[in-house]
Chains A and B, each alone.
Chain A
């Protein structure tokens, strides 16, 4: 896995000094039914958007806390990536969006019967939210609401 030393010095210092929010207690939902009967939703933090949507604001102080809904039928070649961080190599995701938003893999899992179905809407955020107050208060519950409306049973969260 990546280690702190793999990051630039500035990022290493930030990561060590940053006051991470500790989740406590940790909520837990055991799988409610077999995956073959479950509906999957994907969350990617790669800062993806669909043409016509407002791209993420790369200049927002503390990070852009908003999210974008990605329709399940999207052609991955159409997805736009404008994540602001230069701490990660963007070339892989630019080449194949499935690397951070594996929608084609998810479709294949439905075809093979491993997963029951896919949410009609998935979600992308732009990571690097250093001031997550608004994100946690306003946007995270909205993301949960999207998945509740879609009757999502299981979620796969993919960072970059």
Chain B
């Protein structure tokens, strides 16, 4: 996913990549990543839980809006 993000970013598309495994993101370095504290297979926390899924997506969207970030921006998700 990070390799796709890098290509898109290079083509002028702002990206945010959810990350389940911090080690991988630190090695590969996607432009903008949100580390989420969920198990593999559950990137948006839980099935059939729109509210929780929206919280994670909103945190990701805020990375796009944060103009203080520098590449690679690797940020932890903090559940409210």
* Residues in A lying within 8 Å of B, measured CB to CB: 1-4, 6-7, 15, 20-32, 35, 41, 43, 45, 87-93, 95-96, 98-100, 102, 104-106, 108-109, 114-115, 123, 125, 127, 132, 135-136, 140-141, 143-144, 147-148, 152-160
Instruction: Check A23 against B28 for contact (C-beta < 8 Å).
Output: yes
A135 nearest in chain B by CB position: B3
B66 to chain A, nearest CB (A): 9
Q: B47: which A residues are within 8 A, CB to CB?
A: 92-93, 95-96, 98-99
B-side residues, CB < 8 A to A, are 1-24, 27-31, 35-48, 50, 53-54, 57-58, 60-61, 64-65, 67, 70-72, 76
On chain B, the residues within 8 Å of A23 by CB distance are: 2-3, 6, 28-31, 72
Q: Are B44 and A158 in contact (CB under 8 A)?
A: yes
Given A23-B72, A26-B71 in contact, is the A1-B35 Cβ separation under 8 Å?
yes
Give min CB distance, A113 to chain B, whole Å.
Answer: 13
Cβ distance A89 to chain B, nearest Cβ, rounded Å:
4
Task: Determine which of B4, B9, B24, B53 lies in contact with A28 in the assembled complex, contact meaning CB atoms within 8 Å.
Answer: B9
Docked Cα-Cα span, A4 to B24, in Å, equals 10
Measured between beta carbons, the chain A residues less than 8 angstroms from B7 are 140-141, 143-144
A contact residues around B12 at 8 Å (CB): 29, 32
| Closest Cβ neighbor of B29 among chain A residues | A23
- Majority secondary structure of chain B interface residues (helix, strand, loop or mixed): mixed
Q: Are A20 and B4 in contact (CB under 8 A)?
A: no
Please tell me if the beta carbons of B41 and A88 are within 8 angstroms of each other in the complex: yes
The reply to whether A157 and B14 contact each other, CB–CB distance below 8 Å, is no
Give the docked Cα–Cα distance between A98 and B1 (Å): 17
CB distance from B55 to the nearest CB of A (A): 10
A27 CA to B29 CA in the complex, in Å? 10
Given the interface contacts A99-B53, A135-B3, A147-B8, does A21 sit within 8 Å of B28 by beta carbon? yes
7 cross-chain pairs, A with B, having the tightest CB-CB distances, nearest first: A96-B47, A88-B40, A88-B41, A27-B10, A26-B71, A89-B41, A157-B17
Q: Can you list 11 residue pairs at the A/B interface with Cβ under 8 Å?
A: A2-B39, A20-B24, A23-B72, A27-B71, A29-B10, A31-B64, A32-B12, A96-B47, A125-B4, A144-B7, A159-B18
